[in-house]
Chains A and B, each alone.
Chain A
Amino acid sequence: MRTLRRKLIRDLAMLRGQVTAIAIVIAAGVMTLVMLVTSLDAIRLSKDRFYEEFNFAHVFVDLKRAPERVAERVREIEGVSLLQTQVQSPVRLEVPGFDDPVRGQVLSIPDGRQPDLNQLHLREGSLPESGRNDQVLLSEPFAEAHGLQVGDNLTAIINGRLKTLSVSGVALSPEFIYQLGPGDLLPDYERFGVLWMNRRALAASLDMDGAFNRLALSLQSGVPVEPMIEAVDGILAPYGGLGAYDREDQLSHRFLSQELDQLRMSATILPTIFLGVAAFLLNVLMARIINTQRQQVAVLKAFGYGNGAIGWYYGLLTGLIVLIGCVFGVVLGGWAASGLAGVYMEYFRFPAMSFRLQPRVILLGVAIAGAAAGLGTFRAVSRAARLPPAQAMRPPAPETYHQTALERSVLWRWLSQPSRIIIRNLSRHRLKAAFSVLGISLSGALILVGSFQFNAVDHLIDTQYRLVQKADTNIYFSEPVAPGVKASLLNQPGVTAVETFRDVATRLTHGHREYRTAIQGMDASRRLRGLIDTAYRDITLPGEGLLLTAYLAEHLGVEPGDTVDVEVMEGQRRTLSVPVAGTVNEPIGMGAYMERRALNRLLREGPAVTGAWLLTDQSREQALFDRLWDMPLVTSVGMIRESRTSIRRYIEDTMLFMMGFMLLLAGSIAFAVLYNNARIAFAERARELATLRVLGFTRTEVAWILIGEIGLLTLLSIPVGWGLGTALAWLLNQSISMDLFRVPFVITHQTYAFAAAGVVLAATLSLLFVARRLYRLNMIDALKTAE
């Protein structure tokens, strides 16, 4: 046994190239699993801790104004645990040294103490002192974006009055883990901030003494949320309640849970793909390596080693390789997970990232890798052990060949002998060749899966900003105004075109499914806002009825011709039944659209608009913004260029960051697979290649046989890899769709070319490595022995 152990170490050293390659495949599979599951777990854990430790509420409601005593009636509803009233208001902010318009939301906290719900995590400084009316807490990302420190000042226009505020501290809130301005899809920490002030001071500024306009409550455990929402709405409707909602509709929570959902999908699908492919390759590669040792197995048996000893030996060999791979996979996976989680921390602000490696996940990875490798080993060893030992003592019987139809054809005569060798080798070992092709194709497929989203995202951004959002600035008004506002906007500096729209906050309901979104009413003839179908053609806006984003229609389960209930979240809060006229294919957001006059009629109002799209001259932008900002009517100015950059950055940081890793792994796997194929082909052919050298063939001529074989396999694999990759990419694509954006299932020519190039590169590198061996091939050694 001691000798066997020595052989084990020698074999590992001798096979180090192949061992490394196999370990890479294992490491890549395990790394994918560890990275995705760990970062998913880290974000979920951080979220849960934050929610729990800082009393994140269950039900939220905004209203116009209610006297504080009304809150007592809400508190008495059966099942309410804690309740917190607040006053809040949108504000305009001026930060020293920053020219762009800055919006904010200011919320009250009880004088000098933490609220009962949605408590703040103080990062720096302290809560505003009780009785002070000029101190504020800033949300951390906003403070960071502007470099604002405790003690710094900024100006705010609250309720039309200019106020100088001093920063008493910096905080994070479970309500603003994803800190989003109204109407935004992505955080813009420079242009939107959250502030907290003492209740008394803020109420005084807002003329809300003894009243509140925001309420949050938590539920006793086990209390259902739907009846509670109805009860709260019943009490608050007379006070201008805008409809209570639960966490599912809470903006930050909703985005966070969608991101988690999508991460969970990725954490299921990507490791399944990667580990599945790795398991397959592992199985094949281990079987191949052991096949090249068949003769050795027979010799060992001839000397009296039992099947048990031989099985133990190869089991140990496999185990060691799996172990090496898993160690690397876990370490690199953990490292990548902390990188990925760090990226998410930029968008989702938690007090701390709770990071842990779950033994469960590691065990799962090890078990899958171990089982796949073990199976391959077992198959090959039992086949080798069945070989009668006497065979090892004789020169190997030549392999069996027969002539095939191809060989009687004219074409055959044109092939040189080396080419015939290649083709016969492949066609005589069809199963083996098929497995090689499948293995290489799978690695190519992984490259395709890892890379298609890069081009698809370009396509998404291009669609959204070339075909849909064609304006370069959008503005929102504080209240509905007559469409005539267009003329005065046209007079502003640098404005070359203006189109207006009417936005109204609604809750769309169909059956038991609902979604809160704005309906945007727009003119039938427009230039600045496109509505497109699945073929990216413009859709004409129908005179009546709703156009829904296809993803929203799917979410609500409606088709054109159905009707949805539209609960209008302003004015008298009427609920109307509106037919769905069609769907639009927008990759970003979950919008609903109508002809503007039809919407006005629906709202029982005259011609009215709430915002406008502008085409502007970029060189005069600053002057324009200054002017717009001075108009009391304008509450928000958005630069579409900015949102284009930020959505691209968001997708790159999250999804593409992850896919970058995947791509790296896919590349490593491709190399590992091809290297092993080349090495094994070399091992199997060494004798023939040496014979050819003896006969006077040059190294280059002999190398051709090896290059030709691997090259042919690679070429055959490319289209198969495209097919498999397209299928896997489709699977992955199906799983990634969020309110925020949907990556279209687009695989460009570049992606296909890239996947093919990756495989060809891997093949070339592998052949270069093997060519070194070919160069050192010792003819005499190769021919002297039987094998």
Chain B
Amino acid sequence: MEEVGVSSRVVFSTRGVTKVYAMGEMEIHALRGVDLDLYAGELSVMLGASGSGKSTLLNILGGLDSATDGRVMYGDQNLVRASDRVLTAFRRDHVGFVFQFYNLISSLTARENVSIVTEISRNPMTPEEALAMVGLEERMDHFPSQLSGGEQQRVAIARAIAKRPDVLLCDEPTGALDSKTGVRVLEALEHVNRELGTTTVVITHNAVIGEMAERVIQLSDGQVASVHVNQRRAAPGELHW
């Protein structure tokens, strides 16, 4: 049933992934058996109502959290029940994160916020290159407080990609931004994806953004409701909301 995308190499493969949060007496089933494949080099957009389990799934893929049950394969490595040390190494070596709240370190400049990652990576680009990729070469020595929200988010993207991660996971990267700055951030993501071929997953509740993706994954009630492959990808500049 699946159509072939840019690549046919599977990077992430999840089968029957569940996540149960215990809240005192109550159990919350955030994920109820997720089967999903993500392909190398693709930019996917994950859509779904609030509470449908998007963040939970992304956190599990990125090794920030572990699944209650099921299988999460990264290549041939199973992340379920991996130790903290293995997950830390996994994040360090393979994953870049971008969050809704940029989570920059306020006491470090843009350049330093990037170099904090490049210093612990094996084959990073220079902070300058990373910042140039997101169009911030002019503002490298600014502290977060001296940057706009969109610029801060682009620093966060530069920080995420500077180590040349295999996957880039973004949880509502435009959630706190107006549409114009949001587009600038999406352009940066698209640019990185195209130039570096980084497998990218962008969570959003904004269906319009799905038009720029190769693959649109719809999550509902803790399960994958549908996966749709776009025949034609829109450029971020064409998007309006």
> Which chain A residues have a beta carbon within 8 Å of chain B's beta carbons?
395, 397-403, 416-418, 420-421, 424-425, 428, 687-688, 690-699, 701, 779-780, 783-784, 786
| B72-80, B87-95, B227-235: which lies at the interface | B87-95
| CB of B97 within 8 Å of the partner chain | yes
| CB of B44 within 8 Å of the partner chain | no
Q: A692 with B106: in contact, given A400-B143, A401-B143, A783-B99 (CB under 8 Å)?
A: no
> Which residue of A420, A693, A694, A784 is within 8 Å of B108 (Cβ)?
A420
- Whether B106 pairs with A399 at a CB distance below 8 angstroms is yes
- Whether A420 pairs with B88 at a CB distance below 8 angstroms is no
A661 to B91, CA, bound (A): 52
| CB of B107 within 8 Å of the partner chain | yes
Residues in chain A near residue B184, CB distance under 8 A: none
Residues in chain A near residue B92, CB distance under 8 A: 695-697
Residues in chain A near residue B55, CB distance under 8 A: 780, 784
- Give me 6 other A-B pairs in contact (C-beta within 8 A), A698-B85, A779-B64, A784-B55 excluded: A398-B106, A398-B144, A403-B141, A424-B107, A698-B88, A780-B55
Residues in chain B near residue A420, CB distance under 8 A: 107-108, 112
Taking the closest CB of chain A, its distance from the CB of B233, in whole angstroms, is 29
Taking the closest CB of chain B, its distance from the CB of A206, in whole angstroms, is 89
Closest 10 CB pairs of A and B: A696-B92, A398-B144, A398-B106, A424-B107, A417-B116, A401-B143, A696-B91, A398-B145, A691-B103, A395-B101
Residues in chain A near residue B116, CB distance under 8 A: 417-418, 692, 695
Taking the closest CB of chain A, its distance from the CB of B176, in whole angstroms, is 7
- CB-CB nearest in chain A for B62: A694
Interface centre among A401, A402, A693 (most CB of B within 10 A): A401
- Whether A695 pairs with B176 at a CB distance below 8 angstroms is no
A21 to B160, CA, bound (A): 40
- Whether B107 pairs with A401 at a CB distance below 8 angstroms is yes
A402 to B159, CA, bound (A): 20
- Whether B119 pairs with A416 at a CB distance below 8 angstroms is yes
- Whether B91 pairs with A399 at a CB distance below 8 angstroms is no
> Which residue of A401, A421, A696 is within 8 Å of B120 (Cβ)?
A696
- Whether A424 pairs with B108 at a CB distance below 8 angstroms is yes
Q: A695 with B65: in contact, given A402-B143, A420-B107, A783-B103 (CB under 8 Å)?
A: no
Taking the closest CB of chain A, its distance from the CB of B231, in whole angstroms, is 35
Binary contact readout B49-84 vs A (1 if CB under 8 angstroms, 0 otherwise): 000000100010010110000000000000000001
Question: Could you list 23 A-B pairs, sorted by A, with CB under 8 Å?
Answer: A395-B176, A398-B145, A398-B152, A400-B145, A401-B107, A401-B143, A401-B145, A417-B115, A417-B119, A420-B107, A420-B108, A420-B112, A421-B108, A428-B107, A688-B105, A690-B103, A691-B104, A693-B88, A695-B91, A695-B159, A696-B93, A696-B95, A784-B55
- CB-CB nearest in chain A for B95: A696
Taking the closest CB of chain B, its distance from the CB of A418, in whole angstroms, is 8
Residues in chain B near residue A695, CB distance under 8 A: 91-92, 97, 116-117, 120, 159
- Whether B144 pairs with A694 at a CB distance below 8 angstroms is no
Taking the closest CB of chain B, its distance from the CB of A667, in whole angstroms, is 33
Binary contact readout B134-150 vs A (1 if CB under 8 angstroms, 0 otherwise): 00000001011100000
Residues in chain A near residue B144, CB distance under 8 A: 398
A380 to B83, CA, bound (A): 42
Taking the closest CB of chain A, its distance from the CB of B67, in whole angstroms, is 14
Taking the closest CB of chain B, its distance from the CB of A153, in whole angstroms, is 81
A509 to B151, CA, bound (A): 86
> Which residue of B65, B84, B88, B95 is within 8 Å of A780 (Cβ)?
B65
Q: A691 with B64: in contact, given A417-B115, A697-B120 (CB under 8 Å)?
A: no
- CB-CB nearest in chain A for B101: A395
Interface centre among B84, B89, B92, B106 (most CB of A within 10 A): B106
Taking the closest CB of chain B, its distance from the CB of A492, in whole angstroms, is 81
- Whether B105 pairs with A421 at a CB distance below 8 angstroms is yes
A398 to B108, CA, bound (A): 10
Residues in chain B near residue A403, CB distance under 8 A: 109, 141
Residues in chain A near residue B65, CB distance under 8 A: 780
Taking the closest CB of chain B, its distance from the CB of A424, in whole angstroms, is 4
- CB-CB nearest in chain B for A697: B120
Taking the closest CB of chain B, its distance from the CB of A402, in whole angstroms, is 7
- Whether B106 pairs with A401 at a CB distance below 8 angstroms is yes
- Whether B107 pairs with A425 at a CB distance below 8 angstroms is yes
Taking the closest CB of chain B, its distance from the CB of A414, in whole angstroms, is 13
Taking the closest CB of chain A, its distance from the CB of B108, in whole angstroms, is 6
- Whether A783 pairs with B119 at a CB distance below 8 angstroms is no
Taking the closest CB of chain B, its distance from the CB of A417, in whole angstroms, is 4
A395 to B159, CA, bound (A): 19
Residues in chain A near residue B95, CB distance under 8 A: 696
A397 to B85, CA, bound (A): 32
Residues in chain A near residue B120, CB distance under 8 A: 695-697, 701
> Which residue of B59, B107, B141 is within 8 Å of A421 (Cβ)?
B107
A698 to B107, CA, bound (A): 20
Residues in chain B near residue A698, CB distance under 8 A: 85, 88
Interface centre among A398, A696, A701 (most CB of B within 10 A): A696
> Which residue of A402, A694, A784 is within 8 Å of B97 (Cβ)?
A694
Taking the closest CB of chain A, its distance from the CB of B93, in whole angstroms, is 7
- CB-CB nearest in chain A for B112: A417
A696 to B95, CA, bound (A): 9
Residues in chain B near residue A692, CB distance under 8 A: 105, 116
- Whether B107 pairs with A786 at a CB distance below 8 angstroms is no
Interface centre among B91, B107, B112, B120 (most CB of A within 10 A): B107
Taking the closest CB of chain B, its distance from the CB of A358, in whole angstroms, is 50
A691 to B108, CA, bound (A): 13
A421 to B108, CA, bound (A): 7
A395 to B175, CA, bound (A): 12
Taking the closest CB of chain B, its distance from the CB of A337, in whole angstroms, is 48
A701 to B89, CA, bound (A): 13
A425 to B101, CA, bound (A): 21
> Which residue of A395, A399, A693, A784 is within 8 Å of B107 (Cβ)?
A399
Q: A696 with B117: in contact, given A398-B143, A398-B152, A786-B101 (CB under 8 Å)?
A: yes
Taking the closest CB of chain B, its distance from the CB of A479, in whole angstroms, is 85
A402 to B107, CA, bound (A): 9
- CB-CB nearest in chain A for B88: A698
Residues in chain B near residue A395, CB distance under 8 A: 101-102, 176
A203 to B84, CA, bound (A): 95
A695 to B117, CA, bound (A): 7
A308 to B93, CA, bound (A): 52
- Whether A694 pairs with B107 at a CB distance below 8 angstroms is no
A398 to B91, CA, bound (A): 25
